[in-house]
Chains A and B, each alone.
Chain A
Amino acid sequence: MKKNKILLTVFAAAALITGGIMYAADHIDAPAVTNTKSDITDLYVFQAQTATNLVFVANTQGLLAPGATAAAKFDENTIIEFNIDNNADNMEDLVIQCKYNASTNSIDVYGPTAPSEKGLRSKLEGSVTASAAVTAYGSAAVIGTGATGIKVFAGPRDDPFYFDFTQFGKILAGTAIGFNNPGTDTFAGTNVMSVVVEVPKSQLNSTGSINVWVETKKKI
């Protein structure tokens, strides 16, 4: 019992957060709550349909109900920034910055380019390299293509994350010793706000592998 309590203490609060979503708190808050727009749910980086390109996906504002998705918006004061490390020192050598432009209802992409400073603070680097109007809920995907071959999409998507989070919580709480078969996807039927950027690999200064992480940063 005592060891189960240790498990509960260490991980119970942890179990409330999965994939970057504050599960219990944010899913009862309205999606329009400002700090939710900074909440990253997932990062994906994978080889594109064209093998010479790499795709970067950042999802935010998780657990959007279908009925709330039409009203979901990006925030003009928040940038979504992919950080790329080329030389395995875990510091960013390149950034790809995505910023919502309210006057054009678009996401503008900057980079890939070396940042002026590394770490917790950023400024927008250079000029826009690709842009796409935000795809409205229910509309066909709008794809923007930049002069250097970068493609961008921004808008609501089905949340691609899948997990029986409920059962995992029971395992951590000590009320179950394992998963069920079949399991139940806690994230089924929910949406996210997604930015997808496809970049020619030649722009990533890579000799074989890179380290990538995504950050949200808010205007100060």
Chain B
Amino acid sequence: MKSTIKLLAIIFAGSLIAVSCKKNDDPAPAPTVYYQQQDQMGRPAVNTVMNASADKNAFNVTPPSAMGAAFQTKFLNNLVALDGALFAANPLYVRYSTNALGMSPTALTTTLATDVLGVSTTGATTLATLTGRTLADDVINIELQFLFFGGTDGSKNPQLTNDNVNANDKPFLAAFPYLAAPF
């Protein structure tokens, strides 16, 4: 009887160990933490100028590979409307045909609709040649000239292709982190 109880006790203890070992063999994995897109940007002011307000939120959560199909036609329509309205407001306005980089309205809006910044990894980087964007680039003048046919010397629509704010309010740093200290 005593040995039977001992045997039962050993079996019972053994089964408890077996149960607890089994539990330790299957720990629950930590759940993966995911992050979901909120905002997005490639080139300066594209969402600003080329999208009506109803399209801005969608633009911010559309992957760039899908942007062309979703937005190029809207951009073209908006550019044509803007060009027409500027002419109606000022008969001296020279209407868009090609821009300083030789792009037709279709070519320009096709480029802009996929909102990515092209960057050279072998040389100079500047928005003027679509090879990057430096802190000192006057991106507004560059983009005004893309849109309003300023040409390389701003001669066509000078009232629209230069906002006459051509430098930052503080000088940039030559060395990392390059941006100026805050005000």
Contact = CB atoms under 8 A, between A and B. Distances in A.
A206 B121 contact: yes
Interface in A44-70: 44-49, 54-55, 57, 64, 66, 69
B182 interface: yes
A201 interface: yes
Nearest to A186: B165
A15 B48 CA distance: 6
A157 B41 contact: no
B69 to A, nearest CB: 11
Contacts of A49: 174-176, 178
Given A3-B88, A14-B52, A180-B164, A211 B116 contact: yes
Given A42-B44, A44-B134, A206-B121, A177 B85 contact: no
Contact of A14 (B48, B118, B134, B158): B48
B82 A10 contact: yes
Contact of A196 (B64, B159, B178): B178
B165 A162 contact: yes
B169 A162 contact: yes
Contacts of A48: 176
B132 A46 contact: yes
Contacts of A177: 89-90, 93, 159
Contacts of B104: none
Contacts of A220: 34-36
A183 B165 contact: yes
Contacts of B121: 54, 201, 204, 206, 208-210
A120 B36 contact: yes
B85 A6 contact: yes
Contacts of A143: 176-177
A208 B180 CA distance: 29
A18 B48 CA distance: 5
Contacts of B37: 120-121, 215-217
A135 to B, nearest CB: 9
Interface residues of B, number: 79
Interface stretch (B12-20, B21-29, B95-103, B122-130): B122-130
Contacts of A128: none
Contacts of A6: 81, 84-85
A7 B169 contact: no
Interface residues of A, number: 97
B70 interface: no
A213 B176 contact: no
Nearest to A168: B163
A159 B34 CA distance: 30
Interface string A100-116: 00000000000000000
A84 B167 CA distance: 28
B125 to A, nearest CB: 4
Interface of B: 32-42, 44-45, 47-53, 56, 61, 63-65, 67, 78, 81-82, 84-86, 88-90, 93, 114-126, 131-135, 138, 140, 158-160, 162-170, 172, 174-183
| CB-CB nearest 8 A-B residue pairs | A178-B159, A13-B53, A7-B85, A217-B35, A3-B88, A153-B177, A183-B164, A38-B38
Interface of A: 3-4, 6-7, 10-11, 13-20, 35, 38-40, 42-49, 54-55, 57, 64, 66, 69, 78-79, 81, 83, 85, 89-91, 118-124, 137, 141, 143, 151, 153, 156-158, 160-164, 167-168, 171, 174, 177-185, 187-191, 194, 196, 198, 201, 204, 206, 208-220
19 contacts: A3-B88, A14-B52, A19-B48, A39-B39, A43-B44, A47-B124, A90-B114, A120-B36, A157-B177, A162-B165, A162-B166, A163-B165, A167-B163, A168-B163, A178-B160, A184-B165, A191-B183, A209-B119, A219-B34
